[in-house]
Amino acid sequence: MFIYILDGFIDVRELARLFVYDPDACEKFITKIIDSVDIDNSGTLNFSEFLMLMVKTEGLDGVRAAFQVKIKILVKIEISV
Ligand SMILES: [Ca+2]
């Protein structure tokens, strides 16, 4: 599999295309991401490690916003029951 980088950059679509044609590359990429926050070296993410990953990728404000949306959904579900 070859990727032709004409402009010197890889965008999301090109990276996604690589992963469609090369699932092993996708798995290696995701493994590196998980390993970067897998503190107990379990190969899986517990909730604390997942939060660290979210903070790394979304920042504290992004995590806060994600949980606020979740809380609003839960409140709506609870009110509607
Ligand atoms: Ca872990």
- Can you give the pLDDT at residue 67? 80
Tokens of 33: 């991401």
Please tell me the distance between residue 37's alpha carbon and the centre of ligand 1 in angstroms: 8
Per-residue pLDDT tens over the stretch 14-72: 888 888 888 898 899 889 999 999 999 999 999 999 889 989 988 988 888 878 776 67
Instruction: Please say whether the beta carbons of 58 and 66 come within 8 A.
Output: yes
Residue with tokens 């897998």: 38
pTM of the model: 0.60
Contact residues for 52 (Cβ-Cβ < 8 A; gap 6+) = 37, 39
Please tell me the distance between residue 51's alpha carbon and the centre of ligand 1 in angstroms: 12
Tokens of 73: 């959904």
Instruction: Please say whether the beta carbons of 56 and 36 come within 8 A.
Output: yes
Please tell me the distance between residue 47's alpha carbon and the centre of ligand 1 in angstroms: 9
- Count CB-CB contacts under 10 A for residue 57: 11
